[in-house]
Amino acid sequence: MSLAAYQEVLCRMVASAAYRERFLAQSDEFPGLTPLELHRLRTVAAQPGMRVNTAIHRANRMAPLHQTLPFTCFLLGEQLRETLDRFWGLYPSESLQLDTECGRFTHFLMEELNTGRVTGAYVEEVLLFERACAELRLRKPPLLRVVRFRHDPEPLLAALAQLELPDPAPEPGDYHLAIDCRQGDADFYVLSDQAAATILAPRS
């Protein structure tokens, strides 16, 4: 399985400049490679094109997140790059399937928000809203979702649709936005407290 070992080292070098440096410094310690494969890997690790591979790898990993969570990425602003670095450090390789990657990133970002490493007034509610929309596009049940907002979702989402921050700031409060795909296309409406309580009540 020497070809498999060769491919694994090559892929890890693409994903991480630090791994590449380590390989160049200590390539004799990488097991399972033939002398020819070692020679090839040492050569390509030192070629400037490897940096292009890494840049494309990163851009391609970012694309599905941008596609499914555009408002969240916008709200993260300058925190996005460092957040992605930490995310990619935890998951050195991606699932190219949008749903899996988006689910992983949502989970990761929720933890970052809980620990305070990522901050932002609207990030959590918008993240959960976009994740629900992404799942509903795949028609994952339940087809009626309720997302809790701590700010009036209507002006907030209207501003984000223009990739702008809402100005003035939306009214704080406890809002429940329904995304209803039971009839096909998504229907969005803000629920009364009573309706939200009914939908959210646990079923026996």
Partner 1 sequence: MPSVPQPKLGVGLLFNPVLPEFVTSHADAFDYLEIIPDREWSDRGVDATPRYATLDASFDLFRRVRERKPLLCHSIGLSIGSAGLFDLGHVDQINRIQTELDFAWHSDHLSFARLPGEHEMHTAISMPVPYDQEVLQLIKDRVEHIRAEVPCPFLLENNVYYVDAPDQEMSEPEFLNRLARESGCGILLDLHNVYVNSRNHGFTPESFLRDLDLSQVVELHIAGGDDLLGFYTDAHAGPVAEPVWGLLEDTLRAAPAVSAVTFEFHESSYPMLKTEGIVAELSHARRIWDRYA
Which stretch, 74-82, 135-143, 150-158, 191-199, contacts partner 1 (CB under 8 A)?
A: 135-143
Query: Please, which residue, 68 or 83, has the CB nearer to partner 1?
Result: 68
Burial zone of 62 (CB within 10 Å; 0-12 exposed, 13-18 middle, 19+ buried):
middle
User: 120 with 144: CB under 8 angstroms?
Assistant: no
Is residue 140 near partner 1 by the rule CB under 8 A? yes
Is residue 197 near partner 1 by the rule CB under 8 A? no
Quick check: helix, strand or coil at residue 178? strand
Is residue 51 near partner 1 by the rule CB under 8 A? yes
Quick check: helix, strand or coil at residue 173? strand
Binders in 156-185 for partner 1, by CB under 8 A: none
Is residue 44 near partner 1 by the rule CB under 8 A? yes
Query: Please, which residue, 93 or 198, has the CB nearer to partner 1?
Result: 93
Strands (DSSP E) contained in the chain are 144-151, 172-180, 187-191
d(CA 16, CA 201): 46
Is residue 198 near partner 1 by the rule CB under 8 A? no
Query: Please, which residue, 9 or 156, has the CB nearer to partner 1?
Result: 9
Query: Please, which residue, 183 or 204, has the CB nearer to partner 1?
Result: 183
**The pair of three-digit structure tokens given for residue 88, joined into one six-digit string:** 């990619």
User: 72 with 127: CB under 8 angstroms?
Assistant: yes
Query: Please, which residue, 49 or 173, has the CB nearer to partner 1?
Result: 49
x/- mask, partner 1, residues 20-39, rule CB under 8 A, reads ----------------x--x
